[in-house]
Amino acid sequence: MPVTPELRTYAPADFPALLGLIGNAFGGESQETVQFAVSASNTTTFVAEIDGSVAGVAQAIAFGRTAWIGNVVVSAAHRRRGLGYALTERALQHALGDADSVLLLALGDAQRIYERLGFQAEGLYGTWTRQDEPAAAAGPARPVVEATSVGDAESASAAAAGSAPAADGAKQTAAELAEAERCLPLDKAATGEDRRAYLEYFMPVMRIAYADRPGGRERAAAGFSARLPWGWGAIISEDPHIAAGLVGDLLRAFPATYLEFPDANEAGRRVASELGLVRVKENLRMRYGPPVAGFRPQHIYKTLTPAVG
């Protein structure tokens, strides 16, 4: 007789199982990335338990009127039994408690599951990486226009450990936090979403590029790179030249990292190619509910994380 799985919320004791599931499903996510994924305050993690063991996982990440579903993974021994559908449906029901639109990035056969639940395709995101040794592919220099780093290595380590922003706030000045706040309108203008709940974790390690305003007025933040030490973090800018500088800056700091961004960003594809990256795979952005007003894929040069676009 088939065993009925128990769907429940995540408990800390589940972490080793989730590390195995998530860590092996998406190209080798580290312990730090998985810890971050389950500890963020706006994330609810659901697990499927069979005979006392965790057989699957799915997460709902809340951004107010929008939400994302990510890290949907079922163990190899329990696939093709409807667990992926059941976990996604549970996460979707939870997300729709507050959100109007729910988004996800679908890989391969999983698209059929999401279509059955009512998701529709919105466009492809390409994943770009180097095919040779990072040290031999530094790429041409791309100067960043008046870039400043908000935090330091100690702040970066705290962010990487998944510390709540307030816990490390004393290590940053009010001016530094104000600089990081400049990034939030840029992010919303690109995504159409209020992603403060996630971006606050990245604020200690923001790198912000500025451009002079016409008429000699105060300089304006024109792009940012929000990155954690393992390479996660968005690159956002409406100016392709500034974005190219931020991308080059990231690749010099993290030579082995990858870019993931919408195919609709033609300037992003040019920058990636010029820096020696190759498009190696793709995910399909899918949406449940109305389109997100203000979504501008041409401003996105790197996703924030694989789970939240």
Q: Residue 150: pLDDT band by 50, 70, 90 thresholds? A: low
Residue 1 CB contacts under 8 Å (≥ 6 apart), including other chains:
none
| 66 touches 84 (CB < 8 A) | no
Coil, strand, or helix at residue 117?
coil
88-127 confidence digits (pLDDT tens): 999 999 999 999 999 999 988 889 999 999 999 999 999 9
The CATH class given to the 129-302 domain equals alpha beta
180-227 confidence digits (pLDDT tens): 788 899 999 999 999 998 888 888 888 888 876 666 556 778 999 988
Which residues lie across from 226 on neighbouring strands? 206
Distance CA 41, CA 270 (A): 36
CATH code given to domain 6-99: 3.40.630.30
Name, of 133-142, 146-155, 271-280, the range with top average pLDDT.
Answer: 271-280
Domain boundaries, the chain: 6-99, 129-302
Residue 156 has pLDDT above 80, yes or no: no
Strand duo 66-74 + 220-226: pairing? unpaired
The sheet with strand 53-63 has its strands ordered as: 6-9, 43-50, 53-63, 66-74, 101-106, 278-288, 120-129, 259-262
Coil, strand, or helix at residue 207?
strand
Coil, strand, or helix at residue 172?
coil
Distance CA 251, CA 207 (A): 13
| 224 touches 246 (CB < 8 A) | yes
